[in-house]
Amino acid sequence: MALAFNGARPSGALAGHADTGADIDISGLTKTYGDFTALRNVDLSMRPGEFVAVLGSSGSGKSTLLMALAGFIQPDSGSIRVRGREVLGDPANRRGFGVVFQNYALFPHMTVFENVSFPLRLRKIARSEVARRTEQVLETVKLGGYGDRPIAALSGGQRQRVALARAIVYEPQVLLMDEPLSALDKSLREEMQIEIRELHEKLHITTLYVTHDQREALTMADRIAVMSKGEIMQIDTPERIYREPSSEFVARFLGEAVVFSRGDAGRAFSNLPPAPAANLDLVMIRGEDFRLEPAAREPCSQTTATVAAVVFQGDSWLARLTTAGGLPFDVRIQRADSRRVASLTGGAEVTLYVRHEDIHFLRVDP
């Protein structure tokens, strides 16, 4: 059943389901535990070789989605098709997905080699082939020569690589990763993010990556699905999901967002552009889109606010301001504006500019 990749991007044109060209097609997936709805009518479609990050806070249903996909949770309704074939009836060990678990789930009684070769050994592959492929994948994750080490002797990052190697050694069609980096410290996490992304560029395995870390999702994913309360709120490329959030929730979940009602915004800003639709009653501006001087050739809105406090945060400053109407909001002043920052002192009045294209109109979340 397992499809061979050999590093090449698999063709999407497989027999019988060229209809969507999707590798994974999840539709209407629902799972409830008593009164609690873990998944509510989730639709998600992944193209072959695509890297999709599922982003959400704890309890948002993102792990449930992954577990349902892996076959460890049986959903109440819906369908999961892999290359057009329904897999909901298949037990976990017949789905052929690679899974990287949050705590790595490495077998403590086995060496690195034994862990990584486990999926090959149970497939009754010739010993020499097992050894060859295991060594090769260990090289890929930069663990060449670590085969004899017991798991207990490895660092967190090394364990992460072993878990990854074990999940890809049998060349699964789909790789599922459940917050794989959450146990690592920040610098190691960032390094691993890039490594995993590089590995993905090389192998092109269709990957579902569950995380609660927005930066991680932005760094790694081709597309991000933001989940809340068992629902996918928005699914789009990192850039679009950041720039054009479809809801206040998504806007606030990714990055810093200043949100006013249209009425408040109208009072606070002058030269506000018109809303593209009548039902868009919120105005959202990213904190870093406020400027201390107007843009040269682009139309800007402007507002005058009182400075409450300014804090230096390394690459930028965070300023807390109050509108003339008394509404507080936080803006981020980039390094480029540093020479102007000196004027921002407590109690001072300051005029801020926002380009029209940086002003977004949103619906009020139901």
Partner 1 sequence: MSASATSAGTVPARGEGRLTGIFGPSLRPYLGLMPGLAIVFLCVALPCLWLLYLSSFDDAGRLSAVNYERLIDQVSYRRIFVTTFLVSAQTVICCVLLGVPLATFIASLGRRSAALFIGAILFPLWTSLLVRAYAWLVILQRNGLVNNWLMSAGVIDEPLPLAFNTFSTVLGMTHIMLPIFLLPVIGAMRDIDRSLIRAAASMGASRTYTYRKVFLPLALPGIVAGATLVFVMSLGFYVTPAILGGGNVQAISMRIARSLSTYSNFGAAAAIGVVLLLSTLALLAVSLLIRRLAQGRAGGGHA
Residues making contact with partner 1 (CB under 8 A) = 70-72, 91-99, 101-103, 105-114, 118-119, 122-123, 147-150, 166-167, 170, 176
Q: How far is the C-alpha of 62 from the C-alpha of 225, rounded, in Å?
A: 9
Toward partner 1, which CB reaches closer, 97 or 260?
A: 97
Toward partner 1, which CB reaches closer, 163 or 258?
A: 163
Of 85, 83, 86, nearest to 46 (Cα)?
Answer: 83
Question: Minimum Å distance from CB 93 to partner 1?
Answer: 4
Toward partner 1, which CB reaches closer, 31 or 286?
A: 31
> Which residue shows structure tokens 């919120």?
282
Amino acid at 205: I
- Given a contact cutoff of 8 angstroms between Cβ atoms, the answer to whether 85 and 60 are in contact is no
Instruction: Retrieve residue 112's tokens.
Output: 């690195």
Question: Minimum Å distance from CB 275 to partner 1?
Answer: 48
Question: Minimum Å distance from CB 72 to partner 1?
Answer: 5
Of 346, 54, 42, nearest to 213 (Cα)?
Answer: 54
Toward partner 1, which CB reaches closer, 109 or 339?
A: 109
Burial profile 45-55: b = 16 or more Cβ within 10 angstroms, e = fewer: bbbbbbbbbbb
Instruction: Retrieve residue 310's tokens.
Output: 């300014």
- Given a contact cutoff of 8 angstroms between Cβ atoms, the answer to whether 46 and 208 are in contact is yes
* CA gyration radius, the chain: 24
Question: Minimum Å distance from CB 180 to partner 1?
Answer: 12
Question: Minimum Å distance from CB 167 to partner 1?
Answer: 8
Question: Minimum Å distance from CB 42 to partner 1?
Answer: 20
Q: What is the DSSP letter of 336?
A: G
Residues contacting 110, CB < 8 A, separation 6+: 118, 151
- Given a contact cutoff of 8 angstroms between Cβ atoms, the answer to whether 136 and 114 are in contact is no
Toward partner 1, which CB reaches closer, 123 or 356?
A: 123
Toward partner 1, which CB reaches closer, 72 or 312?
A: 72
List alpha helices for 212-289, DSSP H.
214-220, 238-243, 248-253, 262-268
Question: Minimum Å distance from CB 287 to partner 1?
Answer: 39
Burial class (CB in 10 A: 0-12, 13-18, 19+), 245: buried
Toward partner 1, which CB reaches closer, 12 or 147?
A: 147
Question: Minimum Å distance from CB 276 to partner 1?
Answer: 46
Toward partner 1, which CB reaches closer, 73 or 310?
A: 73
Toward partner 1, which CB reaches closer, 171 or 358?
A: 171
Question: Minimum Å distance from CB 125 to partner 1?
Answer: 12
Question: Minimum Å distance from CB 136 to partner 1?
Answer: 16
CA 351 vs CA 170, 174, 292, 321, 323: distances in Å: 60, 51, 7, 11, 10
Give the total residue count for the chain: 366
Q: How far is the C-alpha of 51 from the C-alpha of 221, rounded, in Å?
A: 5
Toward partner 1, which CB reaches closer, 167 or 224?
A: 167
